[in-house]
Amino acid sequence: MTAPTEPTPPFADQSRRKILLAGVVIVLAAFAAYHNSFSGPFVFDDPLSILENPTIRPPWSIPALLSPRADATVGGRPLVNLSLALNFAISDTDVWSYHAANLLIHMLAGLTLFGVVRRTLARPLPADATLLALAVALLWTVHPLQSEAVTYTVQRTESLMGLCYLLTLYCFIRGAQYQELDYARDAATGAPAGRHRRWFAWSVAACLLGMASKEVMVSAPVLVFLYDRTFVAGSFREAWKRRERVYWGLAATWLLLGVLVGSTGGNRGGSTGVGSHTSPGDYALTQFPAVMHYLWLSFWPHPLIFDYGAEWVKDWADIVPAALGVIALVAGTLWALRRQPVIGFVGAWFFAILAPTSLIPGPRQTLAEHRMYLALAAVISLVVLGAYAWGGRRTLLAWFAVAAGLAGLTAARNVDYRSDLSIWSDTVAKRPHNPYALCDLGMALYDQGRAAEALPYFERSIKLDPRDHQGPHNDCGLALAKLGRLPEAVEQYETALRISPNFAQAHNNLGLALLELDRPYEALKHLETALRLQPVLPTVLFNLGKTLTRLGRLDEAVERYEEALKLNPRDAGACTNLGNVLARTGRVPAAIGWYETAVQVDPKDAMAQYNLAMALAQVGRSSEAIDHFQAELRLRPDDAEARDKLMQLLAAVRGNR
């Protein structure tokens, strides 16, 4: 008796070589588009989530990894925080591994989208399913609109969530396919295979991981149910009847999302939603032009803007055309869900992805390009399939030419991310009235030692948004302090603290300014407040060390410097200052160790070279002291004191001979 043959999977493409080749094309195209993104520095929210995020630094604590600070981009998103911890383990704060991880996530998302589209089209269009899926996934992967979610490091929140979203759907599709096969096998042999259960379990697991990546994942269970009704079961009733347990599992992932949202206070540390001091009505008005702008960028991705800021619409009359357009699209989607379910599903995908960021108000950004990361797939799918329905196979070649052009535009866009100064200069050129961008451009100039050029940008930022803008006041204070205008700097820091009393950076900067004005007791008060607000910020600990040294509390100063160096072992200034305090308390051998560390970290630190030379001379290590005096004089040839010390030491060495 011949054993029954297993039925061919209904969505399977018979040409595995063609599928593999398509995957290779997607990966190579992604690399071509983003090959120049690996050296881009941390920008915007990156420092808060990476450089100032102690939870990603070893020794790791699972509770800390899973509960990063609420006001950072990683707040309430433990999977993203865990991925950053892995990057930190690989390359510390060197940017290359972070960008490599972002690109890998994006490549996997592109491959998963290819799988979703191919398996969806394999039954109605078996001959061309692979090519159509390749066209959709390729265009989506290299589209310049995706660059913000890939090149801007911390926006992996969007791409990682997108990957999990697509995996949730892909695994569900595989489970539904195998469910048919397993039932057929059961009927033929009496032995159920159960493979569909594994795929459904993976779907639920992917959904759970997505909920731990970003709140936009909230719509995934609903979209899976709608996909089932549209492409598999034929009706909601039949979908529920066949896979009720799967939907209960997917719905259960909302519990995790609820816990994570609650862990940030329900409003991401006051940055969005309830408690963000933003009117839902005012925010809703901004979203009609935002959605239409997203659609425009899908077809014509120029100009791309890193930070749109907050543009508030004052009157309905200003947005009537955009509102009519969005309302028409929503109405068309609702009609299509009943009459043309495939088109309705695509429209529902677009609006469901954008809904959380379009409906939940936030004061900082009313429009952001990374929000289109997944929604773009709906637009591209509709355009590619529409063109195919109209022109057949001959349209496919054109899409590959378009993809090549889009990849070139994406690579060009990555050039804007090559430095803080370049991305903010580009943003201000395109958005000259964005106070946030002006402030960040000022900080980019300040970080390059160009405080005088930075100051006007801070002042313009304050004038544009004087109501609630503590950041520019703080940054303006930094520039004034650098220019030696300390009393004016103190006024700016105090203004920032009146707006936001718990602004740790302003407390830190005010403390440092007061210390430089020889007001150490007042400085200590603000620095201790900053430490209470941000207990693991190295700069606060460093400034506390300086203040305690000024007050003669040397043992406490040593403790603070040691704490700062645990958080940032490569801080040459902290090493030097700690050595100085140890030397003052008679612990010269210990001081020498820290001076040597400072010199190793920064051989061009002239003060560290001088202090090390003096300490070595003090303990009788004359030849080594001579070497470091000479090194210091190469850096500061006009240092008469160091030259005298060197001459004395050389004379003493010759006399001993």
Q: Which two tokens stand for residue 457?
A: 């940008």
Residue with tokens 């509770």: 63
Task: Say if residues 253 and 208 touch (Cβ distance below 8 Å).
Answer: yes
**Within 13 A of 262's CA, how many CA atoms are on the CB side?**
6
Could you report the per-residue pLDDT of 84-142, keeping only the tens digit for each?
A: 999 999 999 999 999 999 999 999 999 999 999 999 999 899 999 999 999 999 999 99
Specify if 14 maps to a domain.
no
Q: Is the peptide bond before 63 cis (omega within 30 degrees of 0)?
A: no
| pLDDT at residue 381 in the model | 98
| pLDDT reported for residue 5 | 42
Q: What percent of the chain has pLDDT over 70?
A: 93
Tokens of 468: 């609630």
Mean pLDDT of 285-312: 94
What is the C-alpha to C-alpha distance for residues 149 and 214, in angstroms, rounded to an integer?
13
pLDDT of residue 633: 92
Q: Please, which residues have CB within 8 angstroms of residue 367's CB and are 6 or more apart in sequence?
A: 286, 290, 293, 294, 308, 311
Instruction: Give the separation between CA 532 and CA 515, rounded to whole angstroms.
Output: 19
Looking only at Cα atoms, what is the longest distance across the chain?
108
pLDDT tens per residue across span 522-579? 999 999 999 999 887 889 999 999 999 999 999 999 999 999 998 888 899 999 999 9
The string of DSSP letters for 547-611 reads HHHHTT-HHHHHHHHHHHHHH-TT-HHHHHHHHHHHHHTT-HHHHHHHHHHHHHH-TT-HHHHHH
Question: 431 lies in a domain?
Answer: no
**What's the DSSP call for residue 85?**
H
Instruction: Give 184's contacts (C-beta < 8 A, 6+ positions apart).
Output: 7
Integer distance in angstroms from the first to the last C-alpha of the chain? Answer: 105
Distance CA 183, CA 190 (A): 9
User: Is 205 part of any domain?
Assistant: yes
Q: What is the pLDDT, as a whole number, of residue 364?
A: 76
Task: Give the Cα separation of 550 and 420 in Å (integer).
Answer: 35
Using CA atoms, how far apart are residues 425 and 418, in angstroms rounded to an integer? 12
Radius of gyration in angstroms for the set of CA atoms belonging to the chain, rounded to a whole number: 30
604-617 pLDDT tens trace = 999 999 999 999 99
Given pLDDT bands bounded at 50, 70 and 90, which one contains residue 328?
Answer: very high
- What token pair was written down for 515? 């210390």
Q: Which residues contact 54 (CB under 8 A, 6 or more apart)?
A: 64, 536, 567
What is the average per-residue pLDDT within 591-600? 94
Give the range of the structural domain holding residue 175, as residue numbers without chain letter.
21-415
Is-contact 370 145, C-beta < 8 A?
no
Residue with tokens 């451009």, as numbered in its chain: 441
**Cα 118 from Cα 106, distance rounded (Å):** 18
Single out the residue of 140, 210, 203, 137 nearest to residue 169, CA to CA: 203
Q: How confident is the model at residue 252 (pLDDT cuts 50, 70, 90)?
A: very high
pLDDT in tens, 338-360: 999 999 999 999 999 999 999 88
C-beta separation of 26 from 111 below 8 A: yes
Any idea what the CATH number is for the domain that residue 653 is in?
Answer: 1.25.40.10
Residue % of the chain over a pLDDT of 90: 78
Residue partners of 5: CB distance under 8 A and separation at least 6: none
User: Which of 362, 391, 415 delimits the end of a domain?
Assistant: 415
**From residue 632, how far is each of 92, 572, 627, 643, 653 by CA, in Å?**
30, 15, 9, 9, 19
- Would you say residue 558 lies in a domain? no
User: What does the pLDDT average to over 478-493?
Assistant: 97
Judged on CB neighbours under 10 Å (0-12, 13-18, 19+), 457 is buried
Secondary structure of residue 19 in the 3-state scheme: helix
pLDDT of residue 267: 73
Which residues, 6+ apart, have CB-to-CB distance to 212 below 8 Å?
Answer: 77, 78, 79, 80, 256, 260
Contact indicator for 365, 276 with CB cutoff of 8 Å:
no
Structurally, how many domains does the chain consist of?
2
Residue 280: how many other CB atoms lie within 10 Å: 13
Show the DSSP H helices in 122-235 as ranges. Answer: 129-142, 147-151, 156-189, 195-211, 220-227
- Please report which helix (H) or strand (E) contains residue 397, including its range: helix 394-415
Please say if the pLDDT value at position 217 is more than 80.
Answer: yes
390 located within any domain? yes
In the prediction, which pLDDT does 6 show? 43
Question: Quick one: CA dihedral 495, 497, 499, 505, positive or negative?
Answer: positive
Domain final residue, candidates 389, 415, 441: 415
594 pLDDT higher than 50 = yes
Q: Give the number of other Cβ atoms within 10 Å of residue 346's Cβ.
A: 20
Domain boundary among 376, 391, 415: 415
Q: DSSP states of 251-284 as a string?
A: HHHHHHHHHHHHHTTTTTTTTSSTTS---HHHHH
Answer whether 471's CB lies under 8 Å from 439's CB: yes
> What pLDDT score does 1 carry?
35
